[in-house]
Homo-oligomer: A and B are copies of this chain.
Amino acid sequence: MGLIVQKFGGSSVADAEKIRHVARIITDTYDKGNSVVAVVSAQGGATDELIAKAAEINPEASQREMDMLLATGEQASCALCAMAVEVLKYPVISLTGRQAGIDSDDTHGNARIQSVNPQRILSELEHDRIVIVAGFQGETPNGDIATLGRGGSDTSAVALAAALNAQVCQIYTDVDGVYTTDPRLVPQAIQLDEITYDEMLILAHHGAKVLHDRSVALAKEKGVVLEVLSSFSGNPGTMVKSAIKHDNSRLVAGIAQEKAIFLSLSGIQNTDGVLSRIAALLAEKDISADLILKPAKVEEGATVCLGLKESQGEGVSQLLLEHSDSLGFHTLESNTYTRISIVGQELDRAPSISQRISQLLKNSNCSDPIMTFGQHRISLFVSEDDGIELLPLLHQMLFEETANQIPK
């Protein structure tokens, strides 16, 4: 028995009945002798309503005022959750991010937690109280409210778990845990018992939506064990940690997929250092891309291809066009693809896997895809239709046959 941090997202607290259910999960955990700190998001839809209200008044409102407005969503939700725990006759208190000691920088709308002072929470826990904290928010050095940006409530929970030295940080969602791939696309997808931080980070970065990469990166940095589990089923979830048990080891952890943009810069005569120059340009904007150099006949010049998240396509196109002279390309072409990413910490030790994937592709009806290699990852850029056909085939080969083993 120890201290458990639990995080409940917006869909878990969307209405009174769901909030009552969350209160039962929290009090069940407390009944087992644990101290419980629960972090809650705004009620599903509440944030969108607030954004719409702001847009009606000022579509270009400052991020500082947006944070002041949006933070009310989590504050209301944590008060309502505390009220639901009160009904069950347990001692409970709700705290805003500030009251919970969460200090952030002042990058409004996308702030990062700088430190957590858990004094108030510890004092409440000493009084045997359940503590419900408003996620997604922190206090800036000058006492303003800042929201934490993408995956903010997960990050709040991980930061609190680290500061409180919690035994585990449970992230409650609407699925049973982390799956080998998206079960809505491949019904044969299997729930993982365990996954490493690195694997989870790469899956999250390449389209797996169950956790946000920023919160996983923080958990890795602070050594916080995460458990991703369902707030509905009551089943054990997936543990996210630094290393998995030896008898659970496997070649591939999972397959993520997302829409991607593929930019082709053609007519490049001088290819010396062009990839590193592009990588440096992207790094300045904190963007990572799959980069490929395609040599061609001398008179046509070479082609450099960049595989990017869909949301980054437009910004990167503009950036590259601004540097077209120094990079020496004469045409920029943009295409939409599905990027399928096969992820596994042990993947780098199994070069044969790419041959087996190639073989699978040849036996399929898919046109020849572009294949790129990253750390612990192989990605395929395919058309949307080919992606729909390929994902189940890849899943079958990697998880449903006996092939997902680390080579001796």
Residues of A within 8 A of B (CB): 16, 19-20, 50, 53-54, 56-58, 60-62, 64-66, 68-69, 71-73, 75-76, 78-80, 82-84, 86-87, 93-94, 96, 99, 120, 143-145
Smallest beta-carbon distance A3→chain B, Å = 22
Contact A54 B83 (CB under 8 A): yes
Smallest beta-carbon distance A174→chain B, Å = 21
Q: Which 7 pairs of residues, A with B, have the shortest CB-CB distance?
A: A72-B72, A69-B79, A68-B79, A58-B83, A61-B83, A16-B56, A58-B87
Residues of B within 8 A of A57 (CB): 16, 19-20, 80, 83-84, 87
Known: A56-B16, A99-B143. A82 touches B68 (CB 8 A): yes
Most buried by B among A64, A80, A84, A94: A80
Contact A69 B65 (CB under 8 A): no
Interface of A (DSSP majority class): helix
CA distance A83 to B93 in the complex (A): 32
CA distance A66 to B69 in the complex (A): 19
Smallest beta-carbon distance A119→chain B, Å = 10
6 additional A-B residue pairs with CB within 8 Å, beyond A16-B53, A54-B80, A58-B84: A16-B56, A54-B83, A57-B87, A64-B93, A69-B79, A72-B76
CA distance A71 to B74 in the complex (A): 12
Residues of B within 8 A of A50 (CB): 76
Residues of B within 8 A of A83 (CB): 54, 57-58, 61-62, 65, 69
Contact A65 B79 (CB under 8 A): yes
Closest to A43 in B: B53
